[in-house]
Amino acid sequence: MKIPHRILLNLILVSCSMLSIPTSADELKKDIRLNMGYYFNSISERANRTDIEISLNFWAKELFDAEAKKHNFVISSSKAILFDRIEDMQIAFQQGELDLIVAPPLLISRYFKRSELGDGFVGMLEGKKPEALLLIARTDKNIDGIKELRGKRMELVEDDELAEIFIDTLFLKEFKKGYKNIDVTIERQKKSNRIILDVFFDKTDAGIIYSSSYTLMAELNPDIKNKIKPLAELPIKGRNFSFFRRDYPLIKELTSVAMGFPNSVRGKQILEVFRTPEIINCKVEELAKFDNYYNEYLRLKNKTKK
């Protein structure tokens, strides 16, 4: 099963950005640049750094060169930059060094101004199904709701702020306290898949995971659905969103190229690296949902403080 990645979309967009679309039949757009910024922590689970760098700087470039010729593009330069800190990425974007950003939607909504963002792309699950965050628990632990998590062991994905906010929101709603203030043993894992395995093997009692991981692991071992059940869900469409700089001239053209990514051999290879089978476009306005969710979280949190 393939897992959608916005990173892949970003890669595709970057690749597409290397192509220039002529404004007319006789005019070629030249000196088009496409600098892509990636928040590495959000994509490290899907692919390692080397694979990402290779796929972006070699395979994507090769593919975009070929696609550019078909669309009368001429790519002057392209570059993929991996950021370990979102703040560094924010600064680079504000300084005009990036034409495309790829990061979790919550971080984008918090760190980037809407006025500076143009529409972009997002990787989807197979069949263009949306991604979601799930709270899961072992079926044999008598956990039927949030309140039964007290005194239990839980695992969260490292450096995933959205997952943190998701579980904290659930606890705030149930206990009026953040999860850190409840008798819950929290451990962190780098991968969502690993959390599912730990729950399965009774290393932990519950965890926050992505629905794509749950589906994948259940396919690998159907017994997982018998031993693990979802308790709560937060639909998020995709784990990473990709948005162009609002004034980038080839947003539509590169989007068109990226949408056809699954139709070429090299494109499929790149998507395979990022384990996402589908790509769809997304609007900047879709970030409002995450703004609201974050605001609601802040409200609950502040309420607790009072």
Partner 1 sequence: MAIKQKNSIFIRVFLIFGSLVLAITLFFAFMVVPMQKNAFKQIMFTQAETVSRSIVQASSDAIISKDFGFIVEHNVEVLKNNTSIHYILISPKIGDKIWINQENWHLIENLNTDIAQLENNNINYKIMPIDNYEQVYHFVYPIQFSGISWGWLHIGFSTIQYDKYINDMYFQIIYIIGISLILILFVGYLFARWISQPVSIISHLATQVAGGDLTVRSTIVRGDEIGVLSDSFNQMVDSLMQSKKHLENYNQELENKVLKRTQELADLNKDLDNKIKDEVAQRQKQEALLIHQSRLAAMGEMIGAIAHQWRQPLNALGLVQQNLQFKYQMDKLDDDFMNQSMDKSARLIQKMSSTIDDFRNFFKPNKHIESFNIHNIIQSTADLLEAQLKNNNIKLQIICNENLIIKGFQGEFSQVILNLLNNAKDALIENNSRQPTIIIDAVKNNDTVTITIKDNAGGIPDGIIDKIYDPYFTTKEEGKGTGIGLYMSKIIVENNMSGTLRAFNDAEGANFVIELINNQD
x-or-dash string of contact with partner 1, 137-176, rule CB under 8 A: ----------------------------------------
Among residue numbers 254 through 283, which ones bind partner 1 (CB under 8 A)?
none
Query: In the β-sheet with 131-138, what is the strand arrangement from edge to edge?
Result: 185-189, 153-157, 206-210, 131-138, 228-237
Q: Does 288 bind partner 1 (CB under 8 A)?
A: no
| 218 vs 231 by CB, closer to partner 1 | 218
Q: Closer to partner 1 at the Cβ: 197 or 279? A: 197
Q: Residue 150 Cβ, how far from partner 1 at the closest point, in Å?
A: 24
- Give least dist CB 194 to partner 1, A: 6
Q: Nearest distance from residue 207's CB to partner 1, in Å?
A: 11
Rounded to 10 degrees, the C-alpha dihedral 151/157/161/167 comes to: -30
Q: How far is CA 208 from the centre of its chain?
A: 15
Least distance between partner 1 and beta carbon 196 (Å) = 8
Q: Which two tokens stand for residue 81?
A: 């930059």
Closest to partner 1 by CB, 198 vs 296, is 198
Q: Is there a contact between 50 and 93 (Cβ–Cβ < 8 Å)?
A: no
115-145: b or e for each residue (b if 16 or more CB lie within 10 Å)?
Answer: eebbbbbbbbbeeeeebbbbbbbbeebebee
d(CA 45, CA 108): 19
Cα 26 to Cα 288: distance, rounded to the nearest angstrom = 41
Nearer of residues 122 and 217 to partner 1, judged by Cβ: 217
- In whole angstroms, how close is the CB of 111 to partner 1 at the nearest point? 31
Tokens of 146: 């949030």
Residue (94 or 226) nearer to partner 1, CB: 226
**Residues 83, 271 contacting (CB under 8 angstroms):** no
Considering only residues 174 to 233 of the shown chain, the ones binding partner 1 according to CB under 8 A are 191, 193-194, 197-198, 200-201, 203, 219-223
Minimum CB–partner distance for residue 175 and partner 1 (Å): 28
**What are the residues binding partner 1 (CB under 8 A)?**
191, 193-194, 197-198, 200-201, 203, 219-223
